[in-house]
Structure 1
Amino acid sequence: MKHFLCYFLFFTLGVFSQEKTSLKNALFQLSTKYKIQFSYKDSSVEKFKNISFNNSQSIDSILLSLSLQTQLVFEKIDNKNYVIRFLNTKKKSICAYVVSSKKHTKLPFVTVYYNAQNKYTNASGFFKIKNVISDGFITLSSVGYQSKTIAINTFTKECNIIVLEEEINYLNKIVITDYLTKGFLKKKDGSITLNSKKMGILPGVIEPDVLQSLQLIPGVHSPNETASGIHIRGSTPDQNLVIFDGMKMYHFSHFFGFISVFNPYITNQVKLYRSGTHAKYGNNVGGVLDISVDNPSLQKTTIGFGTTFTHSDFFIKTPLFKDKVGIVFSARRSITDFINSITYQKYSEVAFQNSKISEGLDDESLKIVNAKNNFYYEDYHTKVMVQPSQNSKISFSYLYNLNDLNFTGNTPNINQNFEDDIRIKNQGFRIDWKQGLLKNGIHQIGFTSTNFDKNYQGFRDRTLRNGNSEIANYGKENGVKEHSFEYLFEKLTTKNNSWQLGYQFHKYHVNYLFYREIPGDSNTINDLIDEQANSSAFFTEYQYNNKHNWLLNLGIRLQRFNKPSKSYLEPRLNVNYKLNKSLNVSFSTEVKHQSISQVVDFREDGLGGVFDRFWTLSNTQTFPVLKNTQISFGANYQKNNWTFDLEFYQKNIEGIVLLIDENIKSEKYYSGTNIVYGIDFLIKKQWNNYNTWVSYTWSNSQYQFKNLNNSNKFDGSYDIPHNFIWSHTYSKNKMQYSLGWRFRSGLPYTVKTAVQNKKNEGLKINFEDLNTERLSNYQRIDFSTAYKFYIGKKKKYNGVLGLTLQNLLNKRNILSKDYEIQTVIIEQGTSREEKQVLVETNSLSMGFVPNVMFRVNF
Structure 2
Amino acid sequence: MKKVLLLFYLFSFTVFSQENISLKQVLSQLSKTHKIAFSYNENQIQNFNQILVDSENDLNTILINLSLQTQLVFEKIDEKNYIIRNKSSETKNICAVIYSDKTKEELPFANVYFDDKTVLTNQQGKVEIKDILNDAVISIKLIGYKTKNIPVHSFTTTCKEIFLSEEIHQLNEVVITDYLTTGLSKKKDGSIVLNPKKTGILPGVLEPDVLQSLQLIPGVQSPDETASGIHIRGSTPDQNLVVFDGMKMYHFSHYFGLISAFNPYITNNVKLFRSGTHAKYGNIVGGVLDISIDNNAPDKFSAGFGSTLTHADFFIKAPLLNNKIGLVFSARRSITDFANTITNQKYAEVAFQNSKIAEGLDQENLRITNAKNDFFYEDYYSKILVAPNEKNQLSFSYLYSLNDLNFTGENPRTQEDFRDDIVIKNKGFHTDWKLDLADKGSHKIAFAKTDFYKDYDGSRIRTRPNGNQDNVFFNKTNTVQETSAEYSFKKETKKQNHWEIGTQFSNHQLTYNFKRIRSALNDFVDDNINGKMFSYALFSEYQINTNNKWLINLGLRWQHFNGIAKNFVEPRFNINYKTTKNLNFKFSTELKHQSVSQVLDFRNDGLGGLFNHFWALADERELPVLQSFQTTIGADYQKKGWTLDLEIYHKNIDGILFLFDQNVRAQKYYSGTNSVNGLDLLIKKQWYNYNTWVSYSLSKSIYHFNNLNDGDNFNGSFDTPHNFIWSHNYNLKKVEFSLGWRFRSGIPYTVKTAELNNSNRLKIVFNDLNTERLPNYKRLDFSARYKFYFKRDKNIKGQLGFTLQNILNRRNILSRDYEIQTIVNGQGANRTEKEVLVETDKISLGFVPNISFRVYF
TM-score by length of 2: 0.81
**Deviations along 1:242-287, whole A, 9 cap, x unmatched?**
0000000000000011100000000000000000010000000000
Q: Secondary structure at the match of 2:413?
A: helix
CA contact (8 A) 1:275 1:287 kept: yes
**Deviations along 1:332-365, whole A, 9 cap, x unmatched?**
0000100000000001111111012123455989
**CA pair 482-521 structure 1, distance change in 2 beyond 3 A:** same
Query: What is the Cα deviation at residue 122 of structure 1?
Result: 12
Query: What is the Cα deviation at residue 437 of structure 1?
Result: 4.4
Q: Secondary structure at the match of 2:212?
A: helix
**CA pair 494-732 structure 1, distance change in 2 beyond 3 A:** same
**Deviations along 1:716-772, whole A, 9 cap, x unmatched?**
000000000000000112111000000000010000000111x24311111110000
Is 1:322 equivalent to 2:283 in the alignment?
no
| Cα distance in 1, alignment partners of residues 363 and 513 from structure 2 | 30
| Cα distance in 2, alignment partners of residues 145 and 418 from structure 1 | 60
More moved, 420-429 vs 435-444: 435-444
CA contact (8 A) 1:652 1:674 kept: yes
Q: Secondary structure at the match of 2:442?
A: strand
Letter in 1 for 2:766: F
CA contact (8 A) 1:366 1:414 kept: no
Describe how 1:815-830 pairs up with structure 2 within 5 A.
815-830=814-829
**CA pair 739-764 structure 1, distance change in 2 beyond 3 A:** same
CA contact (8 A) 1:296 1:384 kept: no
Is 1:779 equivalent to 2:778 in the alignment?
yes
CA contact (8 A) 1:646 1:681 kept: yes
Letter in 2 for 1:204: G
Equivalent residue number for residue 712 of structure 1: 712
| Cα distance in 2, alignment partners of residues 460 and 232 from structure 1 | 38
CA contact (8 A) 1:448 1:483 kept: yes
Query: What is the Cα deviation at residue 168 of structure 1?
Result: 6.0
| Cα distance in 1, alignment partners of residues 110 and 431 from structure 2 | 25
Query: What is the Cα deviation at residue 399 of structure 1?
Result: 0.1
Is 1:521 equivalent to 2:521 in the alignment?
yes
Letter in 2 for 1:771: N
CA contact (8 A) 2:400 2:426 kept: yes
Equivalent residue number for residue 130 of structure 2: none
| Cα distance in 2, alignment partners of residues 483 and 100 from structure 1 | 47
Describe how 1:571-650 pairs up with structure 2 within 5 A.
571-650=571-650
Query: What is the Cα deviation at residue 107 of structure 1?
Result: 9.2
CA contact (8 A) 1:576 1:587 kept: yes
More moved, 387-396 vs 352-361: 352-361
Query: What is the Cα deviation at residue 419 of structure 1?
Result: 1.5
Describe how 1:367-386 pairs up with structure 2 within 5 A.
367-386=367-386
Equivalent residue number for residue 58 of structure 2: none
**CA pair 573-296 structure 1, distance change in 2 beyond 3 A:** closer
**CA pair 455-145 structure 1, distance change in 2 beyond 3 A:** same
Number of residue equivalences: 718
**Deviations along 1:434-459, whole A, 9 cap, x unmatched?**
01145431100000000000111002
Equivalent residue number for residue 807 of structure 1: 806
Gaps of 5+ in 2: 1-97, 112-120, 126-141, 147-163
Q: Secondary structure at the match of 2:344?
A: helix
Q: Secondary structure at the match of 1:707?
A: coil
**CA pair 441-101 structure 1, distance change in 2 beyond 3 A:** farther
Equivalent residue number for residue 652 of structure 1: 652
Letter in 2 for 1:352: F
**Deviations along 1:95-152, whole A, 9 cap, x unmatched?**
xxxx99999x989799xxxxxxxxxx99899xxxxxxxxxxxxxxxx99799xxxxxx
Letter in 1 for 2:675: I
**Deviations along 1:145-191, whole A, 9 cap, x unmatched?**
99xxxxxxxxxxxxxxxx9x979637x61110000010000000100
Letter in 2 for 1:542: Y
Letter in 2 for 1:830: A
**Deviations along 1:296-317, whole A, 9 cap, x unmatched?**
6443110100000000000000
| Cα distance in 2, alignment partners of residues 625 and 317 from structure 1 | 42
Query: What is the Cα deviation at residue 230 of structure 1?
Result: 0.3
Q: Secondary structure at the match of 1:358?
A: helix
**Deviations along 1:182-241, whole A, 9 cap, x unmatched?**
000000010000001111000000000000000000000000000000000000000000
Equivalent residue number for residue 568 of structure 1: 568
**Deviations along 1:758-815, whole A, 9 cap, x unmatched?**
x243111111100000011000000000111012112111111011000000000011
Is 1:302 equivalent to 2:293 in the alignment?
no
Equivalent residue number for residue 169 of structure 1: 170
Is 1:768 equivalent to 2:767 in the alignment?
yes
Is 1:703 equivalent to 2:703 in the alignment?
yes
**CA pair 368-591 structure 1, distance change in 2 beyond 3 A:** same
Query: What is the Cα deviation at residue 836 of structure 1?
Result: 1.1
Equivalent residue number for residue 738 of structure 1: 738
Letter in 1 for 2:281: Y
CA contact (8 A) 1:365 1:413 kept: no
Equivalent residue number for residue 851 of structure 1: 850
Letter in 1 for 2:551: L
CA contact (8 A) 2:123 2:793 kept: no
Is 1:558 equivalent to 2:558 in the alignment?
yes
Query: What is the Cα deviation at residue 659 of structure 1?
Result: 0.5
**Deviations along 1:672-731, whole A, 9 cap, x unmatched?**
000001000000001110100000000000000010000110000000000000000001
CA contact (8 A) 1:551 1:576 kept: yes
Equivalent residue number for residue 237 of structure 2: 237
Letter in 1 for 2:771: T
| Cα distance in 2, alignment partners of residues 102 and 182 from structure 1 | 11
| Cα distance in 1, alignment partners of residues 516 and 629 from structure 2 | 39
Is 1:533 equivalent to 2:533 in the alignment?
yes
CA contact (8 A) 2:656 2:673 kept: yes
More moved, 467-476 vs 185-194: 467-476
- Report percent identity of matched pairs: 61
Query: What is the Cα deviation at residue 415 of structure 1?
Result: 2.2
RMSD: 2.7
Letter in 2 for 1:777: N
Equivalent residue number for residue 66 of structure 1: none
Q: Secondary structure at the match of 1:413?
A: coil
| Cα distance in 1, alignment partners of residues 474 and 527 from structure 2 | 12
Equivalent residue number for residue 5 of structure 2: none
Query: What is the Cα deviation at residue 825 of structure 1?
Result: 1.4
Describe how 1:118-157 pairs up with structure 2 within 5 A.
none
**CA pair 854-145 structure 1, distance change in 2 beyond 3 A:** closer
| Cα distance in 1, alignment partners of residues 191 and 644 from structure 2 | 16
CA contact (8 A) 2:465 2:831 kept: no
Q: Secondary structure at the match of 2:387?
A: strand
**CA pair 107-541 structure 1, distance change in 2 beyond 3 A:** farther
| Cα distance in 2, alignment partners of residues 247 and 108 from structure 1 | 36
Is 1:193 equivalent to 2:193 in the alignment?
yes
Letter in 1 for 2:350: V
CA contact (8 A) 2:675 2:703 kept: yes
CA contact (8 A) 2:469 2:520 kept: no
CA contact (8 A) 1:563 1:620 kept: no
CA contact (8 A) 1:523 1:663 kept: no
Query: What is the Cα deviation at residue 369 of structure 1?
Result: 1.6
Equivalent residue number for residue 422 of structure 1: 422
**CA pair 334-506 structure 1, distance change in 2 beyond 3 A:** same
CA contact (8 A) 2:359 2:365 kept: no
CA contact (8 A) 1:622 1:669 kept: yes
| Cα distance in 2, alignment partners of residues 196 and 651 from structure 1 | 30
